[in-house]
Each structure stands twice: as C-alpha cells, then as structure tokens.
Structure 1
Amino acid sequence: MARYRSNTPKSLKDALTDFLEDYPHRKRLKRGMILSIWEETVGKRIADETENIHFEHGNLVVHVKNPAWRQEIHMKRFSIAKKLNEKVDEKIIKEIVVRS
C-alpha cells in the first residue's frame, strides 16, 4: 500500500498502471478490454461478420457468420492478435481461432 502514497503527484495513467499490476484479476479485466475494443481494432466490416467472441484457454475464439469471411480473418489473425495485445499492453491472446 505504501507504493500508492507519495508527496509528488502522479499522472492518472501511471496510477492506473500501478493499480492494475497489483490487481488480482488483471487477466480477466484485460480480456474484457479486448472484447470491448474488438470492433475498434478490426473495423466495422469485420466486426459485423463476427459473433460470439470469447476466450478459451488463452485463445480468442471468433465465430464468423459467412464462411468466406473465415478465410479473410484467418489470414489476418496474427496481426489482429498483435494489435489487440498492444492495446492492452500485455500478451493476453495466445492465438485467434476462427470458426464458422
């Protein structure tokens, strides 16, 4: 707790980062963050074609409505995972699994 007490002011970002490092459910929180930024990261068109996005054993599972989009998302899965992990500053997604 002493780490939160200081005579010098801290930026809100730094204070939140310190808090999240000690937060016991950090991974669960970051998984929720990833789900909430899915559309922002992949774009509206891909987000409209996906549904039932969830985590299974560290993998992000994405269900695709149209099988033609399955291949498109499958080819981009590494870059999508990298972008999502970068946005939450931690490697939360091991791999993206695309199912139709």
Structure 2
Amino acid sequence: MVKLKLISTGSRKKESRSMKKGNEHSLKEAVDLLLETYKIKGKFQETAIVAHWEEIMGKTIASRTTELFIKDKKLFLKLNSSVLRNELQMARQKIIELLNDRAGSEIIREVVFL
C-alpha cells in the first residue's frame, strides 16, 4: 500500500521530523479527500461511468450507443438500435443499480432514452 503524508506549510525538513503517524493517508484516501474538498467527487464518478461505458455494459451495447451523458443524476442515452433500446428500457432499474454499484454511490437516479 502506498502511504502519503499530507504536509501543510513550512520547511519540508522540519515537517517530516515532526510528522505524526495520524497524518499518514493512503493514496486512495488522499485522492478521495481532495475530490471531496473541492466538491468534484460526483463529477469525477460521472466521468468515470461515461469513460468506462464499454467495460461496464459490454461491447455490443457500447457499439450501438451514439450519445451518452449524465446531467442532474440522469443518464441520457441514445442508441442506433430500436430493438436494443426497447430491451434496455425494460431493464432501466438494473442499469441504474449496475452503474451506482460501479461508482460506489448514487450517481444515477434515472435513465432517459433519446
């Protein structure tokens, strides 16, 4: 596990000597803290869902997806196959659960087909 020490101000030598173990964080914890501090964690998770769409939903669905974006906790999805669109409309709740499980929190509340 990578450990990261959060350092505030002052000279680096003095701080590293006086650094307490309680101030050590893993890299994951430090990144999570950074995302929460700047209030961009939700946007980061939304971007990850869009970027990993093929990995999450599979190659077949991804290849038929022509437009994909998230706004106000709604996933907007445009497909070039009406048959696939009908199938996915019937599985909306499953898609929401799958994406939210992947993100680790509630990022999507609704799926809108364009």
Secondary structure in structure 2 of the residue aligned to 1:93: coil
Does residue 100 of structure 2 align to residue 82 of structure 1?
no
1:40 alignment partner AA: E
| TM-score, structure 2 normalization | 0.72
**Structure 2 residue corresponding to 1:55, chosen from 51, 59, 70:** 70
Output the CA distance in 2 between the equivalents of 1:29 and 1:96. 19
Secondary structure in structure 1 of the residue aligned to 2:86: helix
| TM-score, structure 1 normalization | 0.81
1:24 Cα deviation after fit: 2.4
Asked whether the 8 Å contact 1:27–1:92 carries over to 2, the reply is: yes
2:46 alignment partner AA: R
Output the CA distance in 1 between the equivalents of 2:67 and 2:34. 30
Report the number of matched residues.
96
The alignment yields a C-alpha RMSD, in angstroms, of: 1.8
1:70 corresponds in structure 2 to: 85
**Structure 2 residue corresponding to 1:44, chosen from 51, 54, 59:** 59
Structure possessing the higher relative contact order (Cα contacts under 8 Å, 6 or more residues apart): 1
Does residue 29 of structure 2 align to residue 14 of structure 1?
yes
Output the CA distance in 1 between the equivalents of 2:34 and 2:97. 24
Question: Runs of 5+ in structure 2 lacking a partner?
Answer: 1-5, 8-18
Structure with higher Rg: it is: 2
